[in-house]
Structure 1
Amino acid sequence: MSQDSNGGTRVPGSQWYDGEAGPLVRPYALTGGRTRPGLAGVHCDLIALVTLNLGAPRPGYDMGLGPEHRALIELCRTETQSVAELAAGVDLPVGVVRVLLGDLLELGCVFVSRPAPPGQLPDEVVLREVIEGLRGL
C-alpha cells in the first residue's frame, strides 16, 4: 500500500484517474470487448486509406456511435487518411481504431482502400515514353 496525494492509503491497482493524463479508459471498453473488426475480409493495415462516404446519411446518436466513431468521421471529412494517421489523430491504439473502422464500414459511413503495391505501378521508363509521345502530338 502507498499514500495518495491527500495522505490517505491507496491499494495498488485501484487508481482509475491520473492527475496528469486524465481519466483512464481501457481500450476494450471503447470496442465493447471486441478485438477484430466485424467485417470479415476487410484488412485495415496501417497504410489502408479511409475515405468518408459522402453519399451516406450523416451518422447520428441513434446509430449507436460513440464519440470515438464521430471523431474518426470528422478526421475523414477533410481528406482521405491512412489508418495510422487516424490512430494518431484520435490518440487511440491502432487495434482499437481498426475495430471502430469496422463499425463505420458496416454502417456504410466510410470506404477503405489499399494503395497500389509498387510492383503494380507503371514503370518509370513507360511513363517517360508516354510523356514524350504526348509532347510529340
Structure 2
Amino acid sequence: MTGVPRRRMVPAYLATGGRTRPGTAGFERLTVLHAAGTEPPPALHELEDEHRRLWELLQPGALTVVESAAHLRLPVSATVFLAADLVEAGCLRARAPIPRAQQTDRSIVERLLVGLRTLR
C-alpha cells in the first residue's frame, strides 16, 4: 500500500518501562498538558525518545492526553505514563479538564427571550 503511512507499533509495556501505575496520580484522558518552557530541560535528556517526542509535540500549545496519544500513535495508557514522568521531571504541566457546564434553567431563558422581544 503506497501513500498510507505505516503505523509504528510500540508495545505499551516498552513505552511505560514495564510499570503498571504512573508515578503521578490523577491523570485522565482529558487532562490538559502543556510544555513547562521553550528550552529543553536537562531532565529531558535523561528520558526516553518517546518522552522527548511528547515534549516537542506540546511546544506549540496545549493538548489533552488523548490528543497527544493520537499524534504520537501510542495507546492512551502509555501516554499517561509518559506525561506523568515529564510532569514529575518538571518538563510538562498538567491541569484537570474543564468541568462540564451545568444546564441552564429553561424557564429563565424563555423569560429572557420574552423580555428581549418586548424591547422592540
Task: Tell me if TM exceeds 0.5.
Answer: yes
Deviation of residue 43 (structure 1)?
1.6
Q: Percent identity?
A: 35
Query: Amino acid of the residue matched to residue 35 of structure 1?
Result: T
Alignment RMSD, CA only? 3.1
Number of corresponding residues = 104
Where 1:51 maps in the other structure, the secondary structure is strand
Query: Amino acid of the residue matched to residue 87 of structure 2?
Result: L
The structure with higher relative contact order (CA 8 Å, sep 6+) is 2
2:54, 2:68 within 8 Å by CA — same for their partners in 1? yes
Matched, 1:108 2:93: no
Matched, 1:54 2:37: yes
Matched, 1:31 2:16: yes
Q: Please report the TM-score for the alignment, with normalisation by the length of structure 1.
A: 0.62
The CA deviation string for residues 41-70 of structure 1, in whole angstroms up to 9 with x for no partner, is x32211110011118x62358742111101
Q: Please report the TM-score for the alignment, with normalisation by the length of structure 2.
A: 0.70
Asked which structure has the greater CA Rg, the reply is 1
In the alignment, structure 2 segments of 5+ residues that lack a partner are: 109-120
In the alignment, structure 1 segments of 5+ residues that lack a partner are: 1-19, 126-137
